[in-house]
Structures are given as structure tokens and as C-alpha cells.
Structure 1
Amino acid sequence: MPSRWSQPRSGTSMIIEIPFTKASGAGNDFVIVDNREKFLPADLSTFARRICSRHFGVGADGLLILDNSSSAHFKMNYYNSDGSYGGMCGNGGRCLARYAFTNGITPRKMSFESLDFIYRAEVIDDLVSLSMRDPSGLRPLPTHPWGATISKAFYIDTGSPHVVAFVAGVKDIAVASLGSRIRHDSLFAPSGTNVNFVEVMSNNSLRLRTYER
């Protein structure tokens, strides 16, 4: 059974209840709302900030909205906890696919639309397999504005923007403060970017910590 969130109806004194489900994928947590009947408020950015607040709302890294699609089983709209439109999120896509299958919205193998691209997912027992689009826009970035702890950095778009920053000791990185500084850098205005701090452990092993915008 989904939980419910109380929200004032815009322009009135009425309170509406919005059913939602909480989900977590690889450490990212999300609020999921099935909006196929279009009952959510028009200002989704403000709604996302309110419901994702960990002090005054439900608390989450982002809001996943399941909408109707004419070209796939459903459309995914993702908002970050700061209210910005997030585009695609891999962990969020897997959570929404699990939700859609569990609630009888889709078959086990499904497709969904996000940012004018069709993604394909499959629920396999307790796992969700998701085919991502090819990343694009890879380019090196200057590291000097962010301090000597970053040896090199790159920008890449996986459906949502990411900075991949290579560091020597990822466990010692102040992810919240340095990640926020990079996320709000004018290079990535106005929408910001996710930041992945990466330490190379061996030829086939990486250690990763992520700042979610």
C-alpha cells in the first residue's frame, strides 16, 4: 500500500492527499508518484522540493513521476531534491521499473520514455536490468578551481550530467562540500551537475562516492 502526502490545492484552502511510494536503488532513495491521471500540482519543481525535504517532507534524493506515454509503457519524469529537472537517472529508472511491474502497470520486460529516448528494462527476480543510452559529450575539465585533491576531471552526459573527478583518497573527500561547490560552478549553470569522485584501486577496480545534485 502506498503512503500519502498532504498538499494544499493551489489557489484554494483545500488539502489533497497524494499517494506515493518510497524506493531505494544502490543507496539513492526516491519518492515515486503515479501521475497518469494528472492530479499533481502544476508547479512540480516546488512540489519536488517540498516532498523531498528530509526535515519537512518525506525525504529523498529525488522525485520520480510516472506519466502516460504514447511511445512506451510509461514516461519517467525525474526531479532532483532541489526542484531542478533531473532528466534521466539510472537508479531511479530501475526503481520506477520495479514499481511499474509490481503494480501491474507493465509486463516484466518493459520500455519507458525519458528525455525523448526509449529505455528498456527487465525485472529479473530481485534485480532490475536497465539498458542505458550511450554516454555523450565527454570532455576534460580544468581542475584548478576545485583544489589540489582532484588530479583530473571530465564531464559526460549519460542522460543526466556528470562530472567524474579522479582523486587519490576518496574516503577522505568532503563529498558534501566539494560536491556542492562543483555542482554550483558556473560551468554547469543553470541546472548543475552530479559529481562522481573516483579513486583507481587497481587495473580493474574503482572506488566511487557520488554527490547528487
Structure 2
Amino acid sequence: MTIHFYKYQGAGNDFILIDNRDLSFNAQDYKTVHDLCHRRFGIGADGLMLLQNHKDFDFEMLYFNADGNLGSMCGNGGRCIVAFAKHLGIIETETNFLAVDGPHYAKITAEGNWVDLQMIDIDTINTDGEAYVLNTGSPHYVTQVNNLEVLDVFQDGKAIRNNDTYKKEGINVNFVEDKGDHLFVRTFERGVEDETYACGTGVTAVALSMAKHQQQTGHIETPVKVLGGNLKIRFDYDGKHFTNVFLCGPAEQVFTGELSI
């Protein structure tokens, strides 16, 4: 079978996107997903997404991790699939779509290269020692560090992700350094099992955790720098509940092609 695919990236987080409204791609073929995401023997990506029809929404997002398994919510992937839906003519500048963690609203610029994606509300942030643990559509561990530029994120992140507490279910590990006018974040992602250039649900978790840590309330906008560029998180926090949470950043088509599988 020949598939037509698109490659998108959001702040360096890269994804394979397939228009699967005709259901021609087998969503249970996890081996093919893994092979397509492989950076030596396939197209190469942090994950793969299928855009599918849904009777109650503009479309449905089905996300797979690079290891081939169905994944939890991917924030940058969500922003990229919105740009993809615009490219396909499914939406114009606003959309409501369904992902694994529920409905999402998003707004995209007329040019189609900047997406504001609404994330789920958050009521609970737990702690693990001095670190924060929360679920922003995917589970995240957030820890503050110094000299993040030289930190061995692969080794340190892998050790936390595979410790006795998190090994079974896995967790994404975010390291953050407060730079004053922005947060610098690096993330080790489960499913990729490596550091990625950005993680949307991760920077969202970091921004919320830091607001709680610094006892900020009200309407908050947090600039975040990642290896792949710049993102912004905005939200409202009343001291207990995080609402109106938006992950904002670029989403760009890199290339398109055909592949026989």
C-alpha cells in the first residue's frame, strides 16, 4: 500500500501526519508506526498522528509514540494536527477536535503557522520530594535545576523515568531553570525514551508547577524556551484550580511525500 504522509514540527517536536478519514491506514499496525518513526530506517519522528472523522467534532486525533504504541495527549502534536486540518481544508481559523484526553478547542492564525491550543483544566499537583507531579493530558515530573544547559538530560531523565515509582507506567521528566523573564525547559519523553526538542504537555506542566511553587495567582502568561524554539503558556489560577490553559506556539509543515508499506 502507498501512503501519502506529511511531516510537521512544532518547536522542534516533529511528527508524521496521515489523513486517515478513509480508514485506509490500519491503526492497529503498531509495528509500521514504529518503523515509520525510526530515524534511520523510516521517515523519522517523535510520533505519528492519524486524522480521522468523528461525528461530533471537526476531527479526531489519534496519537502514537515513536515506539509504535498508542500515546497519551501530545500538546505540540495537537497544535500540528490543527495546522494539518487547516491545510486539508477541514477547518479555517478555529476548531473543536477530540483527542485521547477529551475535547480540545484551538485557534490558528490565517497564515496557519501559529496555534493556540486549549489544554485540560488541572486541579491536582502532587509532590515527589521537591519535584512536582501532575497530568496535563500526559503524566509529568517537574524538577528545578541549575546550569540546565550542561545537564545530562538523557541519563538523569532516564533514571527518574525508570525508577521504582514510575517504571511500570512511565513518566515524562522535565528539568526547568528559571531565567527570570522566561523558563528554560528540557524534557526526557517516555515512548521516545530520549530527550526531545520540545514537549507541549511538558512545558504546560512546568508553567503550572512554577506558578504553584511561586504562589502566583490570577491570569498568568509564561514564556518558555526549549531546545527547538519558544512557546508560551497562558492560564488562570485561583490558588486551587488551573483553568483556561492554553499552549501557544508555531506549527509548520516541513515536507510531504509517499511511502510504500
Return the offset for 1:136: 4.8
Distance 1:66 1:25, change over 3 A: same
Structure 1 SS opposite 2:125: strand
Aligned residue number for residue 187 of structure 2: 210
Match of 1:179 among 134, 145, 157: 157
* Contact 1:138/1:155 (<8 A) preserved: yes
Aligned residue number for residue 6 of structure 1: none
Question: Equivalences for 1:12-161 in 2 at 5 Å?
Answer: 16-115=1-100, 117-124=102-109, 125=111, 126-142=113-129, 152-161=130-139
Paired residues in the alignment total 188
Return the offset for 1:46: 2.0
Give the Cα separation in 1 of the matches to 2:122 and 2:70: 19
Return the offset for 1:45: 2.7
Deviation per residue, 1:122-146 (Å, 9 max, x gap): 111331111111135421114xxxx
* Contact 1:84/1:191 (<8 A) preserved: no
Give the Cα separation in 2 of the matches to 1:45 and 1:62: 12
Return the offset for 1:24: 0.3
Return the offset for 1:83: 2.2
Return the offset for 1:208: 0.9
Give the Cα separation in 1 of the matches to 2:69 and 2:139: 12
* Contact 1:183/1:192 (<8 A) preserved: yes
Aligned residue number for residue 244 of structure 2: none
Give the Cα separation in 2 of the matches to 1:166 and 1:95: 28
Which runs of no fewer than 5 residues in structure 2 stay unpaired?
Answer: 191-261
Give the Cα separation in 2 of the matches to 1:177 and 1:109: 40
Give the Cα separation in 1 of the matches to 2:168 and 2:64: 15
Return the offset for 1:116: 5.0
Give the Cα separation in 1 of the matches to 2:105 and 2:178: 31
Structure scoring higher RCO (CA < 8 A, sep ≥ 6) equals 2
Return the offset for 1:93: 0.5
Distance 1:191 1:82, change over 3 A: farther
Give the Cα separation in 2 of the matches to 1:117 and 1:70: 14
TM-score (norm 2): 0.67
Deviation per residue, 1:78-130 (Å, 9 max, x gap): 11112232221111111000000111122321111012511011111331111
* Paired AA for residue 132 in structure 1: M
Give the Cα separation in 1 of the matches to 2:35 and 2:71: 16
Distance 1:102 1:200, change over 3 A: same
* Contact 2:101/2:137 (<8 A) preserved: no
Structure 2 SS opposite 1:73: strand
Q: Percent identity?
A: 39
RMSD: 1.7
